[in-house]
Amino acid sequence: MAAVRRTPLMVAIWRLHRTAFRLSGGRLGARINGMPVLLLTTRGRKSGRPKSVALQYVPEGAGYAVIASYAGEDRDPAWWRNLKVHPEAEVLIGGKTERIRAREIEGPDRERLWRKAAALYPGYDEFRKWTARRIPVVLLEPIA
């Protein structure tokens, strides 16, 4: 599937998807563009309130790698800005909720995970062309 820019229509569709995913316990909308989806709930960096977003992910060990592409926008997505302030959060996958800690991946692992995600959804490579910022690759690791 081709990369899609953020438009008011796409934002509305993404919100509907997030709601359906959450209400179904992760059963509806569990895959998009050939990639599995998780619901990430962070704590707002300013408000402290829970904020949820549905994200495509790539399994990585016991964790989940996500791409902070924000559809190629020139700023980081709010969920990543929240995680930089409050790195502990929750994910919902397949009806199961678990606590995670987020960290940005650098070096060869960053490129390896980027390639793995882009092989499933080539839109990530398009997003990289649309922005001057370096798109973060984030690992969500379960907290023991």
Residue 13 has pLDDT above 70, yes or no: yes
b/e per residue 59-69 (b: at least 16 CB within 10 A): ebeebbbbbbb
Is 36 inside any structural domain? yes
By residue range, what is the domain housing residue 91? 8-142
Number of separate helices (H) and strands (E) present in the chain: 4, 8
Is 103 inside any structural domain? yes
Q: Specify the number of domains making up the chain.
A: 1
Residue 17 has pLDDT above 90, yes or no: no
Q: Which residue in the block uniquely carries the two structure tokens 């059963």?
A: 27
User: Residue 60 is encoded by which pair of tokens?
Assistant: 């990585």
Is 105 inside any structural domain? yes
Is 96 inside any structural domain? yes
Instruction: Say which residue, 98 or 12, is predicted with more confidence.
Output: 98
Residue 9 has pLDDT above 90, yes or no: no
Is 3 inside any structural domain? no
pLDDT of residue 19: 79
pLDDT of residue 4: 63
| pLDDT band at residue 5 under the 50/70/90 scheme | low
User: pLDDT tens digits for 117-136?
Assistant: 999 999 999 999 999 999 99
Is 21 inside any structural domain? yes
Distance CA(136)–CA(60), nearest Å, equals: 16
Is 72 inside any structural domain? yes
For residue 33, count other CB atoms closer than 10 A to its CB.
15
User: pLDDT tens digits for 24-81?
Assistant: 777 777 888 778 999 999 999 999 999 999 999 999 999 999 999 998 889 999 999 9
Is 87 inside any structural domain? yes
Instruction: Say which residue, 50 or 5, is predicted with more confidence.
Output: 50
Could you tell me if 89 and 102 are in contact, meaning their C-beta atoms sit under 8 angstroms apart?
yes
pLDDT of residue 28: 73
The CATH number covering residue 132 comes to: 2.30.110.10
Q: What is the pTM assigned to this prediction?
A: 0.86
Distance CA(68)–CA(81), nearest Å, equals: 10
